[in-house]
Every structure is written in C-alpha cells, then in structure tokens.
Amino acid sequence: MFSLIRRWRRRRLCKKPFPSEWLPYLERHVPFFLRLPGELREAFLDRVKVFAWEKVFTGAGGLQITDEMRVVISALAARLILHLSMDCYDQLSEIVVYPYHYKHPEDDGMILGEAHTFGVMVLSWPAVLESLQDPSDGINTAIHEFAHVLDVADGKFDGAPELRAGEDYRAWAQILNRRYEALRSGKPDERKVLRDYGAENPAEFFAVATEAFFEKPREMKQYTPDLYAELQRFYGFDPASDDLDGVPSGKKLGRDEACPCGSGRKYNKCCGVLLG
C-alpha cells in the first residue's frame, strides 16, 4: 500500500517542471550531466528533482542548506540509479550535511561521510565538492556513501545490494569476494583500480568498487574485467563506452526490445524502469 502511494507521489512530482534555476548547479558541479544524451538527460533530471523534493536535507554545525547543496547531492544520488528504480532509495529518508569534515566524540579520525541502517546519511559538503574536482580519480565521497545506501537496502552492510535477479547473486558473491581477497593481498591489478580502503570489509569493497566503476571505468574494465561486468550488470550500463546509456545515438528502444545492458531481459523490465 505504502509503495503504491509513494510511486503515485513520484509520478506527480515528475510532472512538475525541473526548476530552471537548478540547471546552473548541475552545469557547474556535475561534469557527467553535460554528456548525457537527450532522453537519458530527461530521466536523470526526473530522478534529481524527485530525490531533492522527497528527501529531507538537514544542515549540521550551523550549516544552512541551499538549493545548490540539495541539487548537487541529489544529482550524485541519481547518477547511481539512472538505470535502476527510485525504489532503491526507499529506506533513505534524511541527508545530514556538515560545513566541514567532522568527528565522532569517541574517535580522533576525520569523517567525510557515512551511511546508517536507520535511514540517515551524513556528508561533509566540502568533501562532496572536492570529490567533483577530479571526476576520474576514483574518489567520490557521495558516490561512496550512496553505494552504502544501496547495499543496506536489505538491512545489512554486506557488499551485496538487491540485485536485478535471484540468479545474479552466485556470480556476484564469487567474483566480488575473489577480487576483495586479492585487494587485501595487495595484488597489482586490483590496486591499479581500487583504493586500499576497499580492503576493510566487503561493504567498503563494494562502495570503493562503485567509485571506480563510475570514475575509472576503462581502467576497471582492463584490469578487473569480471568485477566490471558484475557492476555493469547491476548498474545497467557500460560507462567505459563513449555511449553513456548503451543506446545508439538517436535510437529510441521499444519496451519489448532486449535491454542493451546485456542482462537478457526486456528493456521495459530492466533499464527502461524509470521510477519504479
């Protein structure tokens, strides 16, 4: 019942025009937005505005949330689910934003962001902006934390988000575990692509791998092709290609055509799903 109401509300939000005053924030801070082809750009903007209007953004440490913060963070959330459903973020209700890197009272280390099991994500706004300065270094705080949100959708931080089909889990577990252990052992191929922080645990491995998939896709496809293939199947597109959505320029796929992500499913049952 609640999911039906949520989807009805999202469709209503989608009918509202994207605020024109938000576009400069995307053009200034979100470099991949400018490369999106027309039809995919519209799907992206739908996700951005629904996320921005649906989630609660709370300033911490004296920070006042601005439209710029709301739009940029929403754009990074939307990037991960451009070929997935908005339902992936149903468990996330609030994003808390600090004006600086912050600490926990019991810990000396600085924190750039964190996701929790109770529907709250925390980000340092400077860390979000710093991550966007170099879109190909494989380091993006917001993408990392949103990957954790996808991971914990089933209630556990375990490096296994809700995959597209039940038969996908076996290969996912085998390949990600093998690459995780290789990174822990310091194998060269993994270290060419993935940050050492991914060796902390399987949940961090998935988040770090997601950063690399979006920011260093060609390197990942070259050095860890099986890991790349699993993430491509999950996220539903091939960022290592020049064609961001996998659909040839100017071609509009029919609902019953095979999805170009390679899943073997019909487009309307796979990447053609927009808002769930």
pLDDT, one tens digit per residue, over 48-95 is 999 999 999 999 999 999 999 999 999 999 999 999 999 999 999 999
Give the amino acid at 53: W
Instruction: Give the pLDDT of residue 4.
Output: 78
Structure letter (DSSP) for residue 198: G
pLDDT-based confidence at 3, cuts 50/70/90? Answer: confident
For 22-30, what is the mean pLDDT? 96
pLDDT-based confidence at 249, cuts 50/70/90? Answer: very low
Is the pLDDT at 160 greater than 70? The verdict is yes
Q: In whole numbers, what is the pLDDT of the chain averaged over residues?
A: 89
Cα 118 to Cα 96, 121, 157, 207, distances in angstroms: 13, 9, 12, 18
Quick one: three-class SS letters along 199-250? HCCHHHHHHHHHHHHHHCHHHHHHHCHHHHHHHHHHHCCCCCCCCCCCCCCC
CATH superfamily of 2-269: Collagenase (Catalytic Domain) (3.40.390.10)
Instruction: Give the number of other CB atoms < 10 A from CB of residue 8.
Output: 10
pLDDT-based confidence at 251, cuts 50/70/90? Answer: very low
Strand partners, 266: 258
Distance of CA 61 to the CA centre of its chain: 26
Instruction: Give the pLDDT of residue 119.
Output: 94
Instruction: Give the pLDDT of residue 262.
Output: 46
Instruction: Give the pLDDT of residue 151.
Output: 97
* Cβ atoms 51, 86 nearer than 8 A: yes
